Amino acid sequence: MFSTRRITFLFPAAVALLSFGACQQSKPVSENKEPAVAAKDLVSCTGIGEVKLTDSYQDLEKKFGKANLTEHDNNVLGKFTAIWDQKPEQVNIYWKEKAAPYTHIDFMETVSPDAPYTTQKGLKVGMLMVDVQKINSDMPLTFVNPYANQDPGLITSFNNGELAIADPCLSGHVEVTKTRNIDAKVLAAFTGEKSVESTHKLIMGGRMDVIFANFRLANK
């Protein structure tokens, strides 16, 4: 038979344990949220940083000033407007109109290998294909052969990976930055392929470094 003294001793301890359990249960469960990207650096289907796909030339002048806009017309893709020309933040704007006034953006691209831009999923210029695939649900990228004469390295599909789901307007280019001990015949065979996947044995085998080289956003 328990004594009254023992019951009195156990009662506060039980209350303390119940209180501790309640506190533990009341704590909010932390979620694994992706870190926020600064608006000026964010690439999404609205635009690249402060440059929006809905902008007209007049809008760009108001936002960034005429001094920060440079016109170019010696390009295989036609005339384009560069914002912050020759700076890491440079964005090239290609217009649907063939001549001024320019009111509708066709697509925009980043240029510099030091571009600060990133998607909410973490895609950045300079990332190796193996790392790009990791944030693309381990799905491969399909792109025009980096050695092609026309639009080399243009990404044609993220193959329904996470990058395609998050930003369906997203494209860009890849670039070969280094090769290691590749036989001339093997390299010739590779360059003869019109379309390449990032799971190609030369890339995944570590004999060819291929990086994500720039962003392209299409105004669909």
16-69 per-position pLDDT tens digit: 444 444 445 544 444 556 668 899 999 999 999 999 999 999 999 999 999 999
Which tokens hold the place of 62? 């108001």
Conformational region of residue 21, where left means phi above 0, alpha means psi within -120 to 50, and beta covers everything else: alpha
Structure-model confidence comparison of residues 205 and 30, the more confident one = 205
> Is 169 a residue whose pLDDT tops 70?
yes
Confidence at 156, pLDDT banded by 50, 70, 90: very high
The pLDDT of residue 33 is 62
174-194 per-position pLDDT tens digit: 999 999 999 999 999 999 999
Which tokens hold the place of 65? 């000033």
The pLDDT of residue 42 is 98
Structure-model confidence comparison of residues 15 and 91, the more confident one = 91
97-111 per-position pLDDT tens digit: 999 999 999 999 999
52 contact partners, CB below 8 Å, separation of at least 6: 46, 59
Lowest mean pLDDT among 73-77, 85-89, 91-95, 213-217: 73-77
The pLDDT of residue 50 is 97
Q: Is the backbone peptide bond immediately before 101 cis, with ω within 30 degrees of 0? A: yes
Structure-model confidence comparison of residues 161 and 2, the more confident one = 161
Sign of CA pseudo-dihedral 132, 90, 171, 152:
negative
Which DSSP string do the residues of 123-164 spell out, in sequence order? Answer: -BTT-BHHHHHHTTTTPPPEEE-TT-SSSTTBEEE-TT-HHH
Q: How high does pLDDT run on average in the chain?
A: 88
Q: Do 220 and 185 touch, CB atoms closer than 8 A? A: no
The pLDDT of residue 32 is 52
> Is 199 a residue whose pLDDT tops 70?
yes
Q: Do 6 and 94 touch, CB atoms closer than 8 A? A: no
Confidence at 141, pLDDT banded by 50, 70, 90: very high
Q: Taking the domains of the chain in order of start, what are their residue ranges? A: 42-218
The pLDDT of residue 105 is 98
Q: pTM of this prediction?
A: 0.81
